[in-house]
A and B are shown apart, each in its own frame.
Chain A
Amino acid sequence: QQQVKQSPQSLIVQKGGISIINCAYENTAFDYFPWYQQFPGKGPALLIAIRPDVSEKKEGRFTISFNKSAKQFSLHIMDSQPGDSATYFCAARGSDAGGTSYGKLTFGQGTILTVHP
């Protein structure tokens, strides 16, 4: 019930194209859904995040779409650039069934994005 399932595992996109990464969750206690970008040899960096009372959030070329009823959310990268090539992780934050561990993030499996020039 604590899992976050992410797909695809890897994604290849041409420069200028749209990259789409999907995540699904089961725990309805999750209340915050961030996306992280990680370059090789670096720690994950927060990219964009959304709360479940909002269906969409856009920041520059990055958009999160959130479907609360389906318990799914996705990251869209518009006009993808070679510099966007990285590993992307979705995550979800919330308490467990016992109401503890608040603040803990559960991560998806990650998506390796490659943007060809």
Chain B
Amino acid sequence: SAVISQKPSRDICQRGTSLTIQCQVDSQVTMMFWYRQQPGQSLTLIATANQGSEATYESGFVIDKFPISRPNLTFSTLTVSNMSPEDSSIYLCSVGQGSTQYFGPGTRLTVL
């Protein structure tokens, strides 16, 4: 299975600022996804990160708030823009390999 790393592992940010989360995979993958997991909740897909084109966002998520880059087949970034306390969550990168999706360790974000 793919080995996925995320940076930072956690951060505490001030309201109104932005944070960029990096996701690195140890092999080339076609499909990469970004999920949000609010405290004590399930996982919600934010967007599919497409290599060489714009990300595909799910209902309720917009590019201005969550811009995503996918410059190659092993790397992606998610930016959480103009943060508010409601953005406090775990943000997870996921990759698809075969029939399966594997998750990174997550980035725990706290917004004050």
Contacts and interface: CB of A to CB of B under 8 A. Distances in A.
B23 to A, nearest CB: 11
Given A42-B105, A43-B106, A103-B48, A89 B42 contact: yes
B13 interface: no
Contact of B96 (A36, A103, A107): A103
B28 interface: no
A91 to B, nearest CB: 8
Given A109-B42, A110-B42, A104 B104 contact: no
Q: Is the interface of B mostly helix, strand, loop or mixed?
A: strand
Contact of B42 (A42, A43, A49, A107): A107
B51 interface: no
Contacts, number: 52
Contacts of A103: 31, 33, 48, 96, 101
Contact of B45 (A41, A43, A104, A108): A104
Contacts of A62: none
A44 B105 contact: no
Kindly list the 10 A-B residue pairs having the minimum CB-CB distance in the complex, ordered from nearest. A43-B103, A107-B43, A107-B42, A43-B105, A43-B106, A44-B103, A109-B42, A110-B42, A103-B96, A103-B31
